[in-house]
Amino acid sequence: MAKLKISYRKLEELEFQCYQNGIRLHNDSVMLLRKHSFASAFALSVIAVEEFGKGFAIAEIIFQARVGEGFHNEDERTLRALLSNHKLKQGWFVSSFFGFPIPKHVLKRYQRMQTEKNNAFYVGVRKGNHQIVRPFLVSKSKARSQWRMVNNALIEFVEARLADTDYGYECFDIVFRRRRLLKKLTGIAAALR
């Protein structure tokens, strides 16, 4: 098997940057919610999900390579897919935060997430009935629901890091083991009720 042409150090940095970017995008979605730009808030929240999912997938690749026999061809294919496959990244987020089996309400939302993200960004025409898609029609409740799902998952994850109830990777602890982040997430959640 051919070895992956990327180092552990570079993968760890990529993982770290994914989490940092996910937090930034999540925070930006809050600002857009407050400005009543619901479609953009919704879409940015979904992109934050993708960044977190990419980070979790990279963490798993690193972990498996360290406990196994190093990187494999499948790892390289997965990494390439993680750079462009939105549904794969969304799936990693959902499975990382909600486990298996994925709750039905989360699975239902996840299955529509990519289409809804595109509809929140672009004007278009729906297949079948040819109805015009208007991003401006994303409701406040839909944007808040998406944001809450992400925020609540992050709060639980940060609390687990702080309580040491969960085995974690070093990068998780560097990014998520922060009381300040928890305070910010819970404060924003209270303000957006």
Q: Among 35, 15, 22, 45, which residue's Cα sits nearest to residue 121?
A: 45
CA distance 37 to 72: 44
Contact 117, 43 (CB under 8 A): yes
Highest mean pLDDT (candidates 30-44, 87-101, 136-150): 30-44
Residue 113, pLDDT > 50, answer yes
Q: Among 136, 112, 114, 134, which residue's Cα sits nearest to residue 124?
A: 134
**What confidence tens digit (pLDDT) does each residue in 4-44 have?**
577 889 999 999 999 999 999 999 999 999 999 999 999 99
**What confidence tens digit (pLDDT) does each residue in 34-77 have?**
999 999 999 999 999 999 999 999 998 998 888 888 888 888 88
**What residue segments make up the domains of the chain, in order of their start?**
8-191
**pLDDT, averaged across the chain:** 85
Residue 85, pLDDT > 80, answer yes
What is the reported pLDDT for 4?
52
- The model carries a pTM of 0.86
